[in-house]
């Protein structure tokens, strides 16, 4: 076990509380391993009726995975450590997705990347006024992994494409409006919600319904028509052309945002959503993402994106290739190609 995640049992409820506040609870390999061990033990324990997942302190639920570890792996061990991390993390994501007992994830604060991976599989996903949800991977040359191919492709209209390409941040009201959150509670009521769930885990749905409030107007709904029209094209070049042709302020803002993203990663995400949308099971989707993420971290854009945004913080990534036109279909195909049979990802 690790002190980076607190694992407790409160009567009939298992409690996983992320405890890495200085890194906004970004997931490390030991954290994923500890969570998996706890969930497996509780799954087979008749005394445990439900599981709560939250964070111990600080301004976010979980800001993602440990991308500095992934970058080091890409630069130093040919991606072996990264592949192991993805294997363990994706097994955790899939365990949560298929878990037979209700999981309640409290997405209070920053919920991005790996944080999405451990909240979206939960039966109950609670957003608050503090929630800031995003899948920002195209900004560091990566796909929207941890199940993004499954979740984003199943959002209304072109919402998933919009979120996956731009990395747009949604607040709690927006998460509730598009279905990424099942409930919207004021942050001040979360302690009461958890206490009531621990007292009566059979009544989770009613407890969350009783404490829910009507969220503020969801900003994303005002742009729904533009999103569904301008992000409808099948190719990245056509989406950029549609935004360019629109001429409006919103389209111009999104076009400027996309100009900062890795063209290669954007094309990978479009393929990811296509394949994830067609996947028959969540595990099938995760096998697809494992192939792509393990290869994507070895592409120049990942190390460069992490350097520019998170290490040096110069915000000046030099993408390779620099333009969408230079990213061929064959280059995308290669990232998603099957692995040798003995290297393919499998759930627990």
For the annotated catalytic residues, the residue numbers are: 65, 114, 137, 145
**Angle at 148 (CA atoms; ends 145, 153), nearest 5 degrees:** 145
Residue matched to tokens 């949604």: 170
């Amino acid at each position: 076990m690790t002190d980076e995640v607190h694992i407790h049992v409160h009567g009939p409820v298992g409690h996983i509380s992320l405890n890495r506040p200085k890194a906004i609870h970004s997931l490390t390999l030991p954290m994923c391993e500890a969570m998996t061990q706890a969930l497996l033990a509780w799954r087979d324990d008749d005394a445990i009726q439900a599981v709560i997942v939250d964070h111990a302190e600080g301004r976010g639920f979980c800001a993602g995975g440990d991308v500095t570890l992934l970058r080091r792996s890409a630069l130093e061990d040919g991606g072996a450590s990264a592949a192991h991390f993805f294997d363990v993390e994706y097994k955790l994501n899939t365990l949560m997705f298929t878990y037979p007992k209700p999981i309640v994830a409290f997405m209070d604060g920053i919920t991005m990347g790996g944080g999405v991976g451990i909240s979206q599989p939960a039966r109950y996903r609670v957003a608050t006024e503090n929630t800031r949800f995003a899948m920002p991977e195209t900004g560091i040359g990566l796909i929207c992994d941890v199940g993004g191919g499954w979740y984003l492709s199943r959002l209304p209209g072109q919402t998933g494409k919009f979120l996956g390409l731009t990395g747009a941040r949604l607040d709690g009201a927006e998460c509730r409006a598009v279905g990424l959150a099942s409930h919207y509670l004021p942050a001040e009521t979360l302690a009461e919600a958890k206490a009531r769930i621990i007292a009566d885990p059979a009544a989770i749905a009613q407890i969350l319904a009783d404490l829910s409030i009507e969220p503020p107007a969801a900003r994303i709904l005002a742009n729904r028509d533009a999103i569904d029209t301008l992000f409808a094209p099948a190719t990245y070049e056509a989406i950029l052309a549609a935004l360019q042709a629109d001429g409006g302020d919103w389209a111009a803002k999104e076009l400027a945002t996309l100009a900062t993203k890795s063209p290669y990663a954007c094309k990978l995400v479009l393929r990811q959503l296509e394949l994830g949308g067609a996947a028959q099971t969540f595990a099938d989707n995760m096998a697809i993402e494992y192939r792509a993420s393990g290869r994507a971290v070895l592409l120049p854009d990942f190390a460069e994106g992490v350097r520019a945004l998170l290490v040096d913080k110069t915000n000046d990534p030099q993408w390779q290739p620099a333009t969408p036109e230079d990213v061929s279909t064959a280059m995308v195909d290669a990232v998603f190609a099957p692995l040798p049979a003995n290297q393919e990802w499998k759930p627990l």
